[in-house]
Structure 1
Amino acid sequence: MSDSKCFTLLKDPSSYTPDTIDLNRDEKAALYWFPCFRDLITKFATQAAESQSHNDDTAVQRAENFRKSYLEKLDEYQRNTQMNAANNIVLGIRELLELNEIQLRVYGFGDPWRKQKELENTAALAALSKRLEELDAITDNTARWTELIRGVLAGNMFDWGAQAVTSILEEDSNFGLHSALDRIEKRPWLVDNLDNWLQRMLGKAHKCALVFVDNSGVDVVLGILPFVRALLQRGTKVLLCANSEPSLNDVTNRELTDLLIKACTHCSVLAKARQEETLLLYANGQSGPCLDMRSLPSALCDAIQEHETDLLVIEGMGRTVHTNLYAKFTCETLKLAVIKNKWLAERLGGDTFAIICKYEDAS
């Protein structure tokens, strides 16, 4: 567990639980998610095998062992839901996703999505200059921030961990940011506080924004980096946080460091911010695609305090919907995600690809 200084962003640290759904207590959720993960793990095992099969003839068997081991542990979780609920033990989607990463490492799969991430990062970087030109051509402040938010949401479509998106990406190799912009939900969104955010952007700049990013490729390069650039142009310092360890196609801190070096060759604003240290990168302490604010590294906690962070931006379904959807913070908070799971979207009152754009004032 991290330094308690991180809890300064939480309105009520003692009652904070990151998980939106508790499978030990929510029978309807359990009936959906346990079978869902049984299907997902077969897909993840296939990806793991393919990531190493070209140079390791043990990869297929190790992937099968991974699948069986995961399913054994999943069955154990399901058998014990009532007992764990009686003992006030919470089981969220977060834990099942983290279990996937733990088991992959046990069977020798460090980062099954690494090559896919490299390909998508390279392609997205090639399109960055053009995307920034498109945004700079929008002279109206409100229209520009609307497009920046839409860009983050469209970028969040590129999630290989979501079956609804995987089907699109596998069928259409040309599916890119503009295709996603055309496909995302039209306003009003499922949770739509965009107008409040746009009004806030007419006011004074924030001192420091803490931004938790999600996927590699289009998501981080064409969605998040232009958004971060716009904050920097307002005079806001940015702490940009990516995963400490690989998880699906989420960008890691190490990958983001390399990405940013390359992005700086396309953008003088980012380059200047890196040089002047108004754009700082941190690992988020997470080994899965969700976000537990109790496990942030001490270095990040110190930076949050030192730079007087007054804006928290959380992006992605794992960090914003599976976790932290209802969490309250002491600073302004912007939660952005596309819900790429039909069951979850319907549970929240929407449909597949419903949008969360949740802006909350400082509590």
Structure 2
Amino acid sequence: MESASELVPFPLLTTPIESNYRACTIPYRFPSDNPKRATPTEIAWIDLFLNSVPSFRQRAESDPTIPDAPVRAQKFAERYSEILEDMKKDPESHGGPPDCILLCRIREQILRELGFRDIFKRVKDEENTKAISLFFHVIELNDAIEDDDKRLENLVRGVFAGNIFDLGSAKLAEVFSKDGMSFLASCQNLVSRPWVIDDLDTFKLTWNRTSWKKAIIFVDNSGADIILGILPFARELLRRGTQVVLAANDLPSINDVTYYELIEILSKLKDENGKLGGVDASNLLFANSGNDLPVIDLASVSQELAYLANDADLVILEGMGRGIETNLYAQFKCDSLKIGMVKHPEVAHFLGGRLYDCVFKFNQV
């Protein structure tokens, strides 16, 4: 089922939608650039999307819901590659100039036009099952840490470790298909602090003296990301008395968790009393964000989410797509946190950091 209601601006943005808000973080071009000539940055990002085409084609080929999946998958690869090559020659073709939102949207539109609804469904289901089996062990390890600051840092490290499960990255998709990924090992092997953006110490101070009433968390990937990273973090907020709203995609995109999958996951983790690992989860809500991409433009969210967000005093954008490639510099009327792992060399270069570096950007109002 798709969200049919009209999309509206996210109400907690400080920057007026009609003037200065720009979702995309990295400028692919500047006003002085020739509109008919692709910039080096545009070419680099178009190539990044071109490099991901084979992994998307392979996922589409094995979609059991499509009878002639291999033929349609090849059509997808040819059509999308052709459009990307066109944009190199003329950046204004196909609705350009390109940015990360347009490049993602064209890819998803082609897949859907060819009948593909959720080419990552099988791998998402498998990873969700694995992560659910580990959930209670992970929260037991967190609960055993008595020091509040150390427990918080462990929860944050869990968010980063879970966020590495991202099949939109060609390199990570290749690693995953060969060796899989271990959540606990990823926790241990995170890039050392200081990270490329590291406001964790400031966040700890605020965490210790602030009781947020409501937090909106824009979630990212299925599997370890949502189940072993975000949910333990959200559970800690619930324990502190914060109402938590998890905002997830309306439609499938890469291995991002959808609103409907999120409801199913929580139904398997809550006990018969509605508790999540012994913590009252009655204040854990879900919202359909109205989004259908791995990035998000906050100029267009669902009315449901906008209503729930009106009285929130903390906004969290998790993942490279929502919190780094888009909205890293977005300003909000309340406290905000952008948290995610850098999984594209192009993003690392822009930020002056390292591949698999971590971003923890906290702004307090």
Aligned twin of 2:202: 196
Aligned twin of 1:315: 318
Paired amino acid for 2:360: C
The CA deviation at 1:90 is 5.5
- Match for residue 350 of structure 2 among 335, 347, 351: 347
Structure 1: stretches of 5+ with no match in the other structure: none
In the alignment, does 2:268 pair up with 1:262? yes
The CA deviation at 1:300 is 1.0
The CA deviation at 1:270 is 6.5
State whether residues 248 and 289 of structure 1, in contact with CA within 8 Å, keep that contact through their aligned partners in structure 2.
Answer: yes
Aligned twin of 1:328: 331
Paired amino acid for 1:292: D
2: CA distance between counterparts of 1:199 and 1:234? 15
Structure 2: stretches of 5+ with no match in the other structure: 1-5, 34-38
- Match for residue 357 of structure 1 among 352, 357, 360: 360
The CA deviation at 1:101 is 1.3
Change (3 A) 1:272 1:351: closer
2: CA distance between counterparts of 1:145 and 1:116? 30
The CA deviation at 1:341 is 1.0
1: CA distance between counterparts of 2:304 and 2:253? 21
2: CA distance between counterparts of 1:212 and 1:56? 31
1: CA distance between counterparts of 2:23 and 2:156? 24
Q: Could you tell me the TM-score, scaled by structure 1's length? A: 0.91
Aligned twin of 2:107: 100
1: CA distance between counterparts of 2:102 and 2:148? 41
Higher share of residues assigned helix: 1
Change (3 A) 1:59 1:83: closer
2: CA distance between counterparts of 1:147 and 1:292? 30
2: CA distance between counterparts of 1:256 and 1:239? 12
Aligned twin of 1:31: 43
Paired amino acid for 1:117: K
2: CA distance between counterparts of 1:98 and 1:303? 26
In the alignment, does 2:300 pair up with 1:295? yes
Secondary structure of the residue that 2:315 maps to in structure 1? strand
- Match for residue 219 of structure 2 among 210, 213, 236: 213
2: CA distance between counterparts of 1:82 and 1:44? 25
Identical residues among aligned pairs (%): 33
Aligned twin of 2:81: 71
Aligned twin of 1:130: 137
- Match for residue 122 of structure 2 among 105, 115, 122: 115
In the alignment, does 2:14 pair up with 1:10? yes
Per-residue CA deviation, residues 156-202 of structure 1 (Å, 9 max, x unaligned), is 011111123223323323x3211111221110111000000111111
In the alignment, does 2:161 pair up with 1:157? no
2: CA distance between counterparts of 1:21 and 1:79? 21
1: CA distance between counterparts of 2:271 and 2:169? 32
The CA deviation at 1:56 is 5.0
Change (3 A) 1:197 1:90: farther
Aligned twin of 2:59: 47
Secondary structure of the residue that 1:312 maps to in structure 2? strand
Paired amino acid for 1:78: K
Per-residue CA deviation, residues 231-267 of structure 1 (Å, 9 max, x unaligned), is 0111000110111110000000000010011111398
Per-residue CA deviation, residues 53-108 of structure 1 (Å, 9 max, x unaligned), is xx7552111111111221233234333326899xxx76311221122111111111
In the alignment, does 2:163 pair up with 1:146? no
State whether residues 12 and 334 of structure 2, in contact with CA within 8 Å, keep that contact through their aligned partners in structure 1.
Answer: no
Paired amino acid for 1:203: R
1: CA distance between counterparts of 2:136 and 2:123? 22
1: CA distance between counterparts of 2:322 and 2:122? 24
1: CA distance between counterparts of 2:43 and 2:306? 38
Secondary structure of the residue that 2:285 maps to in structure 1? strand
The count of corresponding residues between Structure 1 and Structure 2 is 351
In the alignment, does 2:204 pair up with 1:228? no
Paired amino acid for 1:182: Q
Paired amino acid for 1:320: G
Secondary structure of the residue that 2:339 maps to in structure 1? strand
State whether residues 270 and 279 of structure 1, in contact with CA within 8 Å, keep that contact through their aligned partners in structure 2.
Answer: no
The CA deviation at 1:272 is 6.2
State whether residues 24 and 84 of structure 1, in contact with CA within 8 Å, keep that contact through their aligned partners in structure 2.
Answer: no
2: CA distance between counterparts of 1:56 and 1:197? 47
1: CA distance between counterparts of 2:20 and 2:161? 33
The CA deviation at 1:325 is 1.0
